[in-house]
Structures are given as structure tokens and as C-alpha cells.
Amino acid sequence: MKTKLVLSLSTLLLCLLTATLSFAADVTLAWDPSPSEGVVGYKMYYKEGSSALPLNGTGAIEGDSPVILGDTLTTSLSGLDAGVVYYFTVVAYDAAGNESPFSNVIAWSAGDPNPFIPSLQYPANQASNIPRTVQFNWSDPSDGRNVVYTLYYGTDPTLQSGAVGGVNFEPLYPNKEVLLAIAALSLLSLAIPQRRKMRKAVIPALVGATMLLASCGGGGGGDDAISGSVNIDQPSSIAPQYTDVVDNLTESTFEIFDFDPNTTYYWKVVADDGVTVTESVVHSFTTINQ
């Protein structure tokens, strides 16, 4: 049986050493050694433009993420795009290929070699029994730069703004057979003899038949029929997913009231210091069951 490699994140610290810029950007990173037994090497994960998992970046000359580094405590990635923010993290691995958890995530951009990434503080990642009123907290930049924050939170793990899931309703439209029947009845009504007594008897019957067909959808319709009710391919018990966005925040805290009980939420913070826009990693928490 394989034993998963366990590593304290505080002991594997990734940091930026140097960065150079020519036609493409190069970056050199270093990290502290893992104290865990059985470590045979390290891997560098990276991604451009977002810190959201998976960190499956591409474009470095050394290879796509993750770059297998072997037994070393430093590496350089070259050929990076100078116009975007990159996110980096490192893991240790053993001879069986088991990986440690990610180290801290750092951001870098050629235009801003030391961009600020907000660190999420409360609620802690994967915390449970969180009260239904949540005072979100995250870190401020240590150098005092002015930052505007945007808070994303919701039940959608991807935190895509406006994402909605759940039951799918479709509009009620008659199928083509119903439409043909209505047209035929309409033409038939024009051909009714002009005798007054017959028109009084037939026209109400035609009108009633037309309304009945339109309301019931013709009783079938085959492949061309469009359902006028809940889509049965999607169970009605699926809870809708959503993401709410709170922008233009100048403080590193924000309080949200009345979260649903016993529900898992996701959140992240995007920071804009006027030069570079960065985002935190995504954390989750589950509210108390009451």
C-alpha cells in the first residue's frame, strides 16, 4: 500500500530569486527543503492568468505544468509571456510518485516582479460549522500599496460570475402536428356553408378543438415535440449553483449575512493595485447545520 507523502506547508516556502526580461520573460524560484522522509525530488506547478486549480499552465521552454525538477531547491522557467501574471507553487514527491500538498502560491509578472496576492484568512480552507453570518478576512499588502479588492463567493466551485445550475425549464410550444391541425381547422372553417344554423353548430366545435390541441400539445409529437414542463433529464433536487461578486472594496474584510445552513461555499479575492491584477487561491467552507 502506498503511503501518501505528508508535508507541512509552512516548511516548504517558495520564493522569487531573480527575473529577467528580453524578448520573453525568465524567472528563477527557490524553496526550502522538505523535512519529510523519502523525498526524492520536486515538481513546479504554474499557470498564467489565474491561480484557480488545476495549475495546468503551458508555454515555458522547460515544459508544461508540472515541470519535474528532481532533487534541487531552485529552478528557472524561461520563455514566459511578459504580459501576464504567472502563479507558481511547488510540491515534493517520493519514489512512488506520491506528492505533498502545494506550497504557498506566489505570483510574478515581468511588468511587476513582486505583485501582491491576497492571502485568505477567514474562513479557513475546508472549515466546517461556520456560522451563517461570515466576516470574510484576507491580508493587506505589507508594503502599504493601495489596493482595490473584489470578493467572489458562492456555491459554484469555479466561482464564475453569474453561474446558475439546477432545474431546466423550457417554454411551452405546440409541436408541428398541432400547428398543422390548427391550420387545417382554420381552412375548414372558411369552407363552412353560409347557412346560419350550420355555422352556429360547427364554428364553436372547431374553435374548441383548436384550443384543446393548442393546450395539450397534440398528445405526442415524437422527436419534434418540445416539452412544456421540467426537463426530466435533470433531477429537480439539484441545488442551483451561483456566484456573487462584491467589488470596489478598499478594506480587507467584508461581512455577509444569512448563508444557507449545512451548505458548502467557495470564495476568493481579486486584488488590483493599479499596476497588476492578481487573485487568491480558492477556499471552501461549510456552514453550520441549523
As for how many domains the chain has, the answer is: 3
Q: Which band of pLDDT confidence, cut at 50, 70 and 90, is reported for residue 248?
A: very high
Q: Does some domain include residue 2?
A: no
Q: How far apart are CA 163 and CA 100, in angstroms?
A: 32
CB 49 within 8 A of CB 6: no
Q: What percent of the chain has pLDDT over 90?
A: 42
pLDDT of residue 276: 87
Domain membership flag for residue 113? no
Which residues have C-beta within 8 Å of that of residue 30, sequence separation ≥ 6?
A: 14, 15, 17, 73, 74
Same domain, residue pair 126 and 252: yes
Query: Would strands 127-130 and 283-287 be described as parallel, antiparallel, or unpaired?
Result: parallel
In a domain, 4, yes or no: no
**How far is CA 129 from its chain centroid?**
23
Distance of CA 78 to the CA centre of its chain: 29
User: pLDDT tens, 206-218?
Assistant: 545 555 544 554 4
Q: Quote the domain boundaries for residue 201.
A: 176-224
Do 138 and 248 lie in one domain? The reply is: yes
pLDDT at 249 (0 to 100): 96
Q: Is 265 helix (H, G, I), strand (E, B) or coil?
A: strand
Q: What is the pLDDT of residue 275?
A: 85
Please indicate, yes or no, if residue 13 is contained in any of the structural domains: yes
Q: Are residues 96 and 140 in the same domain?
A: no
CA distances to 148, 159, 256, 257 from 253, rounded to whole Å, are 12, 19, 10, 14
Q: Is the dihedral of CA 112, 33, 100, 8 positive or negative?
A: negative
Say whether both 258 and 197 belong to one domain.
Answer: no
The CATH number of the domain where 254 resides is what? 2.60.40.10
- pLDDT for the residue numbered 180: 56
pLDDT digits (tens, 9 = 90+) for 144-201: 889 999 999 999 998 986 654 433 333 444 455 545 555 555 555 555 555 444 445 5
171 part of a folded domain: no
pLDDT at 62 over 90: yes
pLDDT top residue among 224 and 118: 118
